[in-house]
Chains A and B, each alone.
Chain A
């Protein structure tokens, strides 16, 4: 199993541009999550999903959108990139709501 795969690894955006961060998992996990990690900080939850077709906001959802059309994929969309969205983004999945999260290796995004 590849686990959780994120693409791209790195991206530089100009202010106002849009992009989609891709996340896919091959563990048949129902639960998927998007976190952002700012330098020297812990991870903050952006959005999560408890199954295909169901998404909900986390702690810091503003400026982002998600969709969950399949069990495997959970893309994160930035519509109008802002410098405050410069961060490392991690996607994660879990088999149940209380089992440990499996993380991808992250996407480093810079907005200038």
Chain B
């Protein structure tokens, strides 16, 4: 069936280093991908999205890369800060499915001072 999964459930990085969080998806019909950040006790917060007609999109300190050939998505965070510590979820959507996002299980990013 359709699924979105993460390669690394926990990622520990040093403050100031770059972080890379990976995500695999299985539905080739998915055409919209989103990364969310969830801090403890809060709801997911939108970080960045990318549509399937792109392979890279940049935001402030974050970059999302999409490789449709191998159905892989990654989130790169530059100069990771303690405030980046959170669980990061990728989600996929088939635009014909009324935003019924399929979420991955999440990766915990722990930033060490």
A45-B101, A59-B100, A106-B41 known; 7 other A-B pairs, CB under 8 Å? A40-B106, A42-B102, A42-B103, A42-B106, A98-B93, A99-B99, A100-B46
Of A58, A99, A100, A105, the residue contacting B43 (CB under 8 A) is A105
Quick one: CB contact mask for A88-112 with B, threshold 8 Å, 1 for yes?
0010101001111111111000000
Residue pair B44, A43 in contact (C-beta under 8 Å): yes
A90 to B40, CA, bound (A): 14
Q: Taking A45-B100, A48-B98 as contacts, is the C-beta distance between A90 and B43 under 8 angstroms? A: yes
Quick one: CB contact mask for B31-46 with A, threshold 8 Å, 1 for yes?
0101010000111111
Q: Taking A45-B100, A58-B100, A98-B99 as contacts, is the C-beta distance between A90 and B44 under 8 angstroms? A: yes
Residue pair B101, A103 in contact (C-beta under 8 Å): no
Residue pair B46, A102 in contact (C-beta under 8 Å): yes
Q: Which residues of A contact B105 (CB under 8 A)?
A: 40-42
Q: Which residues of B contact A58 (CB under 8 A)?
A: 100
A59 to B32, CA, bound (A): 19
- Say if the beta carbon of B89 comes within 8 Å of chain A: yes
Q: Which residues of A contact B41 (CB under 8 A)?
A: 105-106
Residue pair A105, B4 in contact (C-beta under 8 Å): no
Residue pair A43, B89 in contact (C-beta under 8 Å): yes
Give the interface size bracket for A toward B.
20 to 34
Residue pair A97, B101 in contact (C-beta under 8 Å): no
- Counting residue pairs across A and B whose Cβ atoms lie within 8 Å, the total is 61
Residue pair A98, B32 in contact (C-beta under 8 Å): yes
Residue pair A106, B101 in contact (C-beta under 8 Å): no
Residue pair B4, A97 in contact (C-beta under 8 Å): no
Please give the distance in Å from A51's CB to the nearest CB on chain B. Answer: 11
Q: In chain A between 13 and 47, which residues have their CB closer than 8 angstroms to a CB of chain B? A: 31, 33, 40-45
- Say if the beta carbon of A66 comes within 8 Å of chain B: no
Question: Max chain A CB contacts within 10 Å: which of B4, B100, B101?
Answer: B101
Residue pair A100, B34 in contact (C-beta under 8 Å): yes
Q: In chain A between 54 and 70, which residues have their CB closer than 8 angstroms to a CB of chain B? A: 56, 58-59
Residue pair B100, A48 in contact (C-beta under 8 Å): yes
Question: Max chain B CB contacts within 10 Å: which of A31, A33, A43, A45?
Answer: A43
